[in-house]
Amino acid sequence: MRTAIIEGDGIGKEVIPEAVAILDYFNETYDWGIEKVPVEVGFGKWERTGSAITDEDIAVLKSCNSILFGAITTVIDPSYKSVLLRIRKELDLYANIRPILPIPGIYKLLKIKDRKESDVNMIIVRENSEGLYSGIEEIGDEKSTTTRVITKKASVRIAAFASNLAAGAERKNSLTVVHKSNVLKSDKLFLDSCKQTAESKGVNVSDKLVDIFAYDMIMTPEKYDVVVTTNLFGDILSDLGAVLLGSIGLAPSANFGDNQAFFEPVHGSAPDIAGKGIANPMAAILSLKMMFEWMGKKREACLVNRAVSAAIHDKIVTPDLGGKYSTKEVGDFILSKVRQLD
């Protein structure tokens, strides 16, 4: 098993080492045989070499089973191509998964009283390969257009992925298709493909228009289990979902293709706090937890979750959660808890 480690730029360089320390602990203690493959891509590399990611980097990533990724700074420069978009395309990472599951104790810490942690347990599944991010654009001074592509193939593929998740042991076998097919006729194909696929798998399926869903997911999150949607809607809704987690610094994500799995915190490189040692490492650590789940290491995933929850309970947290601890102190505490619970 080969795991690529991409720290990337900004706070990616600070939070990923805290996750890797936990990976190292289990890998060494239990002889998991994971080979770590460091890969340097991103803005820093572009500044130094003129290229943010090379063909060789892509080849190395393709040779790995999984990838743990920090964050990359994307600058507006015609010669700078988005590294993430290229990785997503080349590895065909078509399913973006964001669990919206609050860490036990976080609402108490943040004094959130108007909702209950136990009401929030949903997964947003975003189609990652087409939709409004098709890349088909005509840009002019008077008129610019972007083509929104919906194919039956990609819709069925993502619906099958989401349905399998919904049918999983810890879920409620319920899938909500989020769309805007009353206005966007292209969404009729998405909606129909998702419904048929879910029904064929015996999953209870319903649908919701995206605008009302955005309101509903915050007001009554308990109504939702697995949610599947198109690329742009998924992008926006999954950031909105971080509200239910308490902080963007707590939101992990995964991207799956048929051959590789890619795990990353939802947040970006946060240049405003980079280098200060105050970034919250929990999103990166919870992304590692998702990697453990994907590897079938359920027990270890659960230990990581309990250790993060213990840090929150003991208020060993970074300034974004109202604490005074550094990235490293929080990471060290979580690792020591993992060891203790193991």
User: Among ligand ATP, Mg ion, none, what binds residue 280 when CB lies within 5 to 8 Å by partner kind?
Assistant: ligand ATP
**Contact residue for ligand ATP among 126, 157, 267, 289 (CB under 6 A):** 267
Of 189 and 248, which CB lies nearer to ligand ATP in the complex structure? 248
For residues 268 and 319, which CB has a smaller minimum distance to Mg ion in the complex? 268
Q: Using CB under 6 A, which of 105, 241, 246, 249 touches ligand ATP?
A: 249
The encoded tokens of residue 273 equal 């706090």
Sheet containing 66-71: give its strands across: 35-38, 2-8, 66-71, 261-265, 252-256, 95-100, 122-127, 226-229, 174-179, 204-209
> By C-alpha distance, which of 116, 101, 147, 122 is closest to 229?
122
Among 66, 230, 269, 305, binds ligand ATP (CB under 6 A): 269
For Mg ion, give the closer residue by CB, 70 or 221. 70
Measured over the CA atoms of residue 162, residue 126, residue 317 and residue 301, the dihedral's sign is positive
Task: Confirm or reject binding of residue 279 to ligand ATP (CB under 6 A).
Answer: yes
Residue 273 found at the interface with ligand ATP (CB under 6 A): yes
Q: Indicate which single residue of 73, 96, 238, 255 sits in contact with ligand ATP (rule: CB under 6 A).
A: 73
- The CA distance from 232 to 130, in Å, is 9
Count of residues that bind ligand ATP according to CB under 6 A: 18
Neighbours of 36 (CB within 10 A): 14
Instruction: Determine, following the binding rule CB under 6 A, whether residue 179 of this chain makes contact with ligand ATP.
Output: no
Q: Would you count residue 268 as binding ligand ATP (CB under 6 A)?
A: yes
Part in contact with ligand ATP (CB under 6 A); list of ranges 19-27, 123-131, 145-153, 262-270: 262-270
Stretch that binds ligand ATP, among 34-42, 51-59, 66-74, 329-337 (CB under 6 A): 66-74
- Within 10 Å of residue 180's Cβ, how many Cβ atoms? 18
Beta bridge pairs of residue 36: 3
Among positive and negative, which fits the CA dihedral 220, 223, 225, 229?
Answer: negative
Q: Shortest gap between Cβ of 293 and ligand ATP (angstroms)?
A: 21
* 270 near ligand ATP (CB under 6 A): yes
Span interacting with ligand ATP, options 160-168, 210-218, 273-281, 291-299, rule CB under 6 A: 273-281
Distance CA 24, CA 73 (A): 27
CB of 45 to ligand ATP, least distance (A): 15
283 binds ligand ATP (CB under 6 A): yes
In contact, 226 and 162? CB cutoff 8 Å: yes
**String of contacts with ligand ATP for each residue 304-323, x by CB under 6 A:** --------------x-x---
**Interaction of residue 275 with ligand ATP, rule CB under 6 A:** no
The residue among 43 and 161 lying less far from ligand ATP, judged by its C-beta, is 43
Give 96's strand partners. 126, 255
> Which whole-number Å values give the CA distances from 15 to 22, 71, 283, in the listed order?
12, 9, 8
Q: Which residues have a Cβ under 8 Å from the Cβ of 323 and sit 6 or more positions away?
A: 315, 316, 317, 330
Q: What phi and psi values does residue 72 have, to the nearest 5 degrees?
A: -135, 135
**Shortest Cβ 285–ligand ATP spacing (Å):** 11
285 lines the binding site for ligand ATP (CB under 6 A)? no
- Chosen from Mg ion, ligand ATP, none, partner binding at 158 (C-beta under 5 to 8 Å by type): none
Helices (H), 50-137: 55-62, 83-90, 106-109
- Can you give the binding site for ligand ATP, defined by CB under 6 A? 11, 71, 73-74, 248-249, 267-273, 279-280, 283, 318, 320
